[in-house]
Amino acid sequence: MNEYSDKVIEHFQNPRNVGFIEDANGIGEIGDTDCGDFMKVFIKVENDILTDVKYQIRGCPASIACASAMTELAIGKNLDDALMLNDMDIVDALDGLPEFKIHCSVLSAS
């Protein structure tokens, strides 16, 4: 696969859940030292359920699509299940990524 799927393009053009959560229960930051991409994630947890996930990102189109898809996968899950999400879950949710962009899903899975 060498091209972006329709889902990747759609998430990149209309990223879900961008922003921040003022009263977040948790905030995480991660960057890719190779490409310089960076994201900050905010989570809201109520009764062990992720009720909201938002992010701010400076990254490539694939990393933005992955962050968007990650929020859709994570919201509504309990913390244990959300922690089990991995990079390939995100790639699958986007109907795949070009081989050379698979690494971009790691930011969102971390």
> Which residues are part of the catalytic machinery?
35, 104
Q: Within positions 57 to 76, which residues make up the interface with ligand FES, using CB under 6 A? A: 59-60, 62-63
Widest CA span in the chain: 42
Instruction: Determine the interface stretch with ligand FES among 29-37, 47-55, 72-80, 82-90 (rule: CB under 6 A).
Output: 29-37
Q: From the CB of 47, what's the least distance to ligand FES, in Å?
A: 33
- Give backbone dihedrals phi and psi of 78, rounded to 5 degrees, phi first: -75, 165
List contacts with ligand FES (CB under 6 A).
32, 35, 37, 59-60, 62-63, 104, 107
